[in-house]
Structure 1
Amino acid sequence: MSESTLPDYIAVATELQQAGLAVSPAELHGLLVGMLSGGLGLKDDSWQPLLFDYTNDGLGWPQSLLTRSRELLDLSIKELTAEQSFELALFIPGEGMEADLFEQADGLSEWVNHFISGLGLINAQLAKASADTKEALADLEEIARLGIDEDDDMEEQAQLLEQVIEHVKACVLTIHAEFGVKPSKESETPTIH
């Protein structure tokens, strides 16, 4: 798991619900990470109107939720642009809350669907993507449709879900590597003009 800490899932879900927004924390985080992976600038606030249009018919969000969204975005930027780390936290039901396997799987599906939507909102040039990126996107599209069969062995399903979560992270990192904005390296020696 990442060293970064995500906020409490239930608290964010409650904030979103109290604001009358029909978006889950998993959907919000997936959307933000999708926009980042598709090329959203690291210091760019153009995500806000896109978020408003996509989730609230173009109407703004309460400032407290914008701050919370910015915190999620900043955390994801830190994870996606870390030089040595290949960790990415997915904000889905699970750790830290009593979520059953079905809730976790639904949260993962919501996250992946909205990640794909985020790529679309930012107009990532997916048609020009490399073969690896196209394969990662195809895998995500397939994962978005997966579900848990209640007749199957739940322990085995839990293990499979963990594997799928790790695969989602790998797919996201692949897509971000191609389309995501990298932090600019400041030159270590000053340039003299």
Structure 2
Amino acid sequence: MSETSLPNYISVATELQQAGLAVSPAELHGLLVGMLSGGLGLKDNSWQPLLFDYTNDGMGWPQSTLQRAQQLLNKSSEELTDTTGFELSLFIPDEQVDATVFELADGLSEWVNHFISGIGLIGADLKKASVDSKEALQDLEEIARLGIDEDDDLEEQAQLLEQVIDHVKVCVLTLHAEFGAKPSDKQEKPVIH
């Protein structure tokens, strides 16, 4: 897997805002990962019109912002198809941007909601899903509705939220394993005569 990492959250938020797009970085990333997990082809640009329809009333995006979305898509595709490690990055506000536990929880909720939308947009046949995938999707739907209560112990809530984030990653990997496109092995295997 390459060593590319996700860009700075605040920079992407600023880019999206300056482009007049009413979508947060968490929502954008969740949508893209949802499309990948639902079966978007690895070399398929059909995600762009879906993205335009879903986020901008069908209008195209500025080229620089679209390239940023492509960068996020590529990074996520690498992570989801890497068979040596099962690591998935969620592009949500975190300690790197001094996010509060409330901002982190809101970002996670946005990410999960848009992930579910991405699976739907790409047309994954969830009616034929395995029991594990159906359970993962149910868990994600419940997680999307979670919130943090101001009166609760915020340190304890932050620790619980980290566990929820880890569970979201497992759910995403479960869904991608069933519905997501896999890289072709044909070019990697030598032909023996």
Aligned to 2:155: 155
| Matched letter for residue 47 of structure 2 | W
C-alpha RMSD of matched pairs (Å): 1.3
TM-score (norm 1): 0.96
AA of the residue aligned to 1:79: E
Identical residues among aligned pairs (%): 75
| Corresponding residue number in structure 1 for 2:88 | 88
The Cα of 1:73 is off from its aligned counterpart by 0.3
The answer for the alignment partner of 2:117 in structure 1 is 117
Matched AA of 1:126: L
Partner of 1:72: 72
Post-superposition Cα deviations, 1:30-78, rounded to whole Å, max 9, x if no partner, equal 0000000000000000000000000000000000011000000000000
SS of aligned partner of 2:79? helix
Q: For residues 4 and 86 of structure 1, what CA distance do their matches in structure 2 show?
A: 16
Q: Deviations over 1:117-160 (max 9, x none)?
A: 00000000001000000000000000000000110001100000
Gaps of 5+ in 2: none
Residues in 2 aligned to 1:4 and 1:93: alpha-carbon distance in whole angstroms: 19
Aligned residue identity for 1:117 = S
Q: Compared with structure 1, are the counterparts of its residues 42 and 169 closer, same or farther at alpha carbon in structure 2 (3 Å cutoff)?
A: same
Question: Residue in 2 aligned with 1:60?
Answer: 60
Aligned to 1:190: 191
Structure 1 gap segments, 5+ residues each = none
Give the whole-Å Cα distance in 2 for the aligned partners of 1:12 and 1:177: 28
Q: Which residue of the partner structure matches residue 104 of structure 1?
A: 104
Distance in 1 of aligned mates of 2:114 and 2:3: 24
Whole-Å separation in 2 of the counterparts to 1:29 and 1:56:
15
**CA separation in 1, counterparts of 2:95 and 2:156?**
18
TM-score normalised per structure 2: 0.96
SS at match of 1:89: coil
